Every structure is written in C-alpha cells, then in structure tokens.
Structure 1
C-alpha cells in the first residue's frame, strides 16, 4: 500500500484545486493513503474529503523560518512516504521534497532546467495551453499526475464534501427570496474593484431582480464592507447581519445561496465545487485562460477587461506608462457599464 503526500502550501483556491491530485492518484493506487500538507487557514476546503486520509497543518510564517523548514522536512523524511507530489514547487516545498527520501518525488519543472540539486525524480512541464474546459490551472494539476501515471479517464472537477449537519444550515431559512452571494472584495487590492463600481453593481442587481444580496469578505475587511453597504441604495435588500468568519462556515452559507457574483479568487472555486452558478469579475492583472474554469455562458461566465477593451493591452507607450505608474488604472477601466450587460444576461438565465 502506497503512502502519498501532497504538499500544497498556498492559498485557499489552490488547495481546493489540488484536491484533484487525490482524486486522480487514487485511480492509480486505490488502496493508498493520501495526506495533504497545507497552511492552517486553508484546510477547510478539503475537510471531510473521502479520499484524503490526513490533513497536516502548518503555519505560513513559521515555515518561512529556515530551522522550522528543516525540522518539517525531517518529519516528512521520518514518515517514509512512497510518493510526494508538489504542485506548489516553491523554495520551501522543493527543500522538503529534496530531504524527504521519498522514492518518487513529482513536481513542476522550473526555469532552471538543470538545477544543482535534484528536488524531484519526475520534473513535469506546465502545459503550453489548455485543452479542457476546466481551465489551464486545473488541467496543470491533473497533468502533474497523468504525466507520470497514465489514466484513461482523469477527474477534472474538484468537489467539496459537506456533512449532514452542514447541509442542514438554517440561517437563511427566514428569507422568502433567493439569496445572491456577493464577493465584494478581492483577497488583495489588485483583485478588488473600485468600491463605487461594486456599489453600482449591487444596486443594479437589487433593483432589477427580486432577490437578496449577501456580502462575503474577509474578517479584516469588515470596515470596508460596511462602507460599501452604507453607500448602497437598497439596504432593505441586503443581508448584512449574517456572516461566517471561517472557510467552513462560508462553505455552508454559500451552499444555501442561489449563486455567486464575485471577484476572481478562492470563493469562486468554492462555489463551483458546490455546483453553484458563478459570475466572475477578473482582475485585469490575472490571466483569464488560467483560472476561468468550466465557463459555458450559463452556469459559469465571467468578464475580463481584455475581452472588453483589448486595445488597452497594446504596446501603446502612454497606456503602458499609466499601467506601470498606477496599479488601479486598469481596474478603473472595467466600469459597471462594461459589466452590467453580461451580468444581466447571466442573471436572467437563473431568475
């Protein structure tokens, strides 16, 4: 029986997508035990996963300290894994793979084609382009497995597994209209729209459709969320007093909502894994082809500035200078006037 470790020390969405590694490696070794090493604040997206036998929690700041990194690597070595897969492929995870002693170590090939240290026994190249509707980021993770272990029918759709108690979540029961989850703020400033634009979108939805809007945001963004709420015209259509401050709580809440409208990020991947319709607003600084998964124009669709104003990404020197001098320049070009027609069409298909 194989003992397998997946090291995915990155953000919430990355951990959820990496769960596909468990789905696919289990097709190769059905009797294997699979463990995931993840940052403690990301574990909620893989809790209760039937194919993940153990979740090893680590703290991001602590792992960046060299003594702690070496200690963790030696603990991995002591555990005697047969296979380690590293979809993270950064300094910390590469060191852990190198010192693990695992007979098979699978990770992505980096730009240094001939590194002085042999971190992996199998160096896998990133795909040059996507060939599956799941999007390139998901396809790359599946490819990490299938490039070493041929699989006839790989799994491309990540899932979140709810307990019976979580499925009975009842905080929205008293509301007599469908609830739309709004991911009003991105995980970083470069993934967040200008607040006045967010307010316009919320006003449009609450006026045009017979629904309630429910805000999602990180706990440290509460003051920003409150200012957006205060700027909205139809507060009676906004649910502001229901909030979950952890990933698992958000998952159970999202499961009871009709759909999600959000900046691109982990919440979008969570909604898709729950089989909820999504409308994604991409940061102009994010490659849509990498992260736009399963888009069909109905269940999942998105908007990206490159689709609406491709000339802004030209070689024009003045435009380039503005982009370099002001990181918010491109986001300011993605105005509600560009988003609302696509959003309206999307919502009409679901209401």
Structure 2
C-alpha cells in the first residue's frame, strides 16, 4: 500500500503527525508512506524512520500553479493507494483530489466557530486534541488512536557534534521564550532565569529564533543560543535537559517529542488542542477571558494581556520546584 500524507504547516502541527505515521506502519508494516510539507517546517518530519520519501514544497511556490501542477504530475507517477490530507486547506485539497485516488481528510473545527472566535464573540475551546483529530478519518483504514506519543527524530551525528560543543552529560535546563505570535509569549522569562540560577544553581541554555536573542540576558550559567541552532540541534539539546520551560510554540512540541519534562505556559490559546502526559506540566493564570484566540495575536484584543502579565515568575518557579521535588522525593 502506498500512502501520501499532506500537512504543510506549522511546525507543531507537522510534528504531531508522527503518531499517525507510526500507527500506519504498525497496522500496515509493508506500506510505503510519503509526506508533503513546506520547506520551512520539513525538519519536523525528516529522519522519521516511518517515512519513505519527503516532498519538500517551497512555501513561496504555494500560489504558483505551474509548479503545483508539475508536482501533481510527479506525484501521480507514484500511484498512491491513499492520500491522507491532514491539513484540510484549499491547496492540500486541490493536490489530494487531483491525484485521483482514495482521498481522506481530517475534519477541522467548524467553520462558524472560527468566525465567531475571530469576531471575539466566543472563546475558543478545542473539540478534540489535534492528534486525536488526525486519527478520526483513519477509521476507514482500521487505524485508531491508542495513546501513541509525538516523536521528534534527528541524526545521531547532530547529537555527537552538539555534545562536543556543550557537554550534554552535565546537568542543565532549557528556556524557550519565543512563539509565533506576540500574545503567546510569556513576559517574565528573564526574571525566571535569574530565579532558576539563584535557587537551583544549574546551567541554562536559551533556545529559539534569532528574534528571541536577548530576551533572556546572558550571564553566569546563562547561555543564549537563540538563532544559532537548527530545529534538529534544539531537539538534541532538549533531549538531554533536566527540563524545559516553553510557551505554546515549536520548542514545546520538540521537547515533548524527545520525552523531556516540559513546563509549558499557556495564555490566549487553548491547551485542549494538545495531549498532556506525566512529563508535560501546564502552567496558566486561568483568566476568564482566556482562551481568546486560535493561534495567538500580535496584541491582546482586550489590551491588558493579563493572561501573561499576571502569571508571575515566582509562581512559575514554585510549580517547577514542586514538580522537581516530587521526582527527587524531597
């Protein structure tokens, strides 16, 4: 059986397809699974052992129909038995249906709910975690969700090279202060870093994009690597960390994917979109107006940003300390 999976973006959504890939391979061990993804998010699935081929789609070509139709002709030659559309947008639907084979797509949230949330008439609450949503249409293939976990893969050479630079065997933690939207960014990462170095006396690595450089000030035991690591390198660093503290962002999903204890801070978005196990600790100020957004915004629609501003660094530190003490028995 030949299967094409389509999920173009974003990083976390692409990474959360990994449970689906693993389960397909378990149910159909002889299947060939290919993946179509935007170039900017391809690191979420490269090195995944359950994939045969990855088609990397340049995002800048997403409206270039000459390119799109040429790609469709190339994909038709593979003679897929199934196309599984886990993006459910116009482009993924156009490509999937043009391949003239069994087309399966996952059901996104109701269209009217999206409109009402964007108009600020209702708060956004997920109907189901994204991973479970991905599995719903796969019942046609007798594939069902059974607590499969998100997994992030990288080449061992990346881990070896990183170990030579940063000594992954020593004890350290990771802070990831960035996010795709301003309202998803907690505002006290710098203050938390000061508390963590003072109270725990551990080395801290700060990871994220180049736009996040300087959010946490470098100092004794604080090393800012924002803009200096690839997603894969960030994954290798996260894998060996004692724990991480993130926003609702790519590093959150990577940290979960390498099975590192993760403290994740939520403000305007709904944590119900994701699955939480024992290793994932949700931190929120639980404001009445939250969640208010599907994916975050450039600014707080109510102008006060209480969901992030009222969650103080001392409160986050106490949650971290409590969970660490539970593990050590102190």
Alignment-derived partner of residue 274 in structure 1: 258
**Aligned residues of 1:177 and 1:210 also touching (Cα < 8 A):** no
Alignment-derived partner of residue 108 in structure 1: 106
Q: Distance in 2 between matches of 1:176 and 1:305?
A: 34
Alignment-derived partner of residue 200 in structure 2: 209
Q: Distance in 1 between matches of 2:86 and 2:225?
A: 38
Alignment-derived partner of residue 148 in structure 1: 140
Secondary structure of the structure 1 residue equivalent to 2:260: coil
Match of 1:342 among 296, 310, 319: 319
Alignment-derived partner of residue 232 in structure 2: 248
**Aligned residues of 2:240 and 2:260 also touching (Cα < 8 A):** no
Cα drift, residue 112 of structure 1: 7.3
Q: Distance in 2 between matches of 1:333 and 1:244?
A: 31
Alignment-derived partner of residue 300 in structure 1: 280
Q: Distance in 2 between matches of 1:153 and 1:262?
A: 26
Match of 2:248 among 255, 260, 264: 264
**Aligned residues of 1:5 and 1:81 also touching (Cα < 8 A):** yes
**Aligned residues of 2:172 and 2:242 also touching (Cα < 8 A):** yes
Higher-RCO chain (CA-CA 8 Å, sequence separation at least 6): 2
Q: State yes or no: 1:87 paired with 2:79.
A: no
Match of 1:289 among 269, 272, 275: 272
Structure 1 unaligned regions, length at least 5: 114-127, 131-135, 316-321
Cα drift, residue 334 of structure 1: 2.9
Secondary structure of the structure 2 residue equivalent to 1:89: coil
Q: State yes or no: 1:39 paired with 2:43.
A: no
- Distance change >3 Å, CA 73–CA 241, structure 1 → 2: closer
Cα drift, residue 57 of structure 1: 0.4
Structure 2 unaligned regions, length at least 5: 113-125, 293-298
Kindly tell me the number of residue pairs found equivalent between the two proteins.
308
Cα drift, residue 149 of structure 1: 2.1
Secondary structure of the structure 2 residue equivalent to 1:226: coil
**Aligned residues of 1:177 and 1:211 also touching (Cα < 8 A):** no
Alignment-derived partner of residue 222 in structure 2: 238
**Aligned residues of 1:139 and 1:156 also touching (Cα < 8 A):** no
Bigger shift: 68-77 or 56-65? 68-77
Structural RMSD (CA): 3.0
Cα drift, residue 323 of structure 1: 5.3
**Of the two, which has the highest radius of gyration?**
1
Cα drift, residue 313 of structure 1: 4.9
Q: TM-score, normalising length from structure 2?
A: 0.82
Q: Distance in 2 between matches of 1:34 and 1:162?
A: 19
Bigger shift: 328-337 or 253-262? 328-337
Secondary structure of the structure 1 residue equivalent to 2:134: helix
Alignment-derived partner of residue 116 in structure 2: none
Cα drift, residue 325 of structure 1: 4.4
Secondary structure of the structure 1 residue equivalent to 2:186: coil
- Distance change >3 Å, CA 109–CA 170, structure 1 → 2: closer
Secondary structure of the structure 2 residue equivalent to 1:257: coil
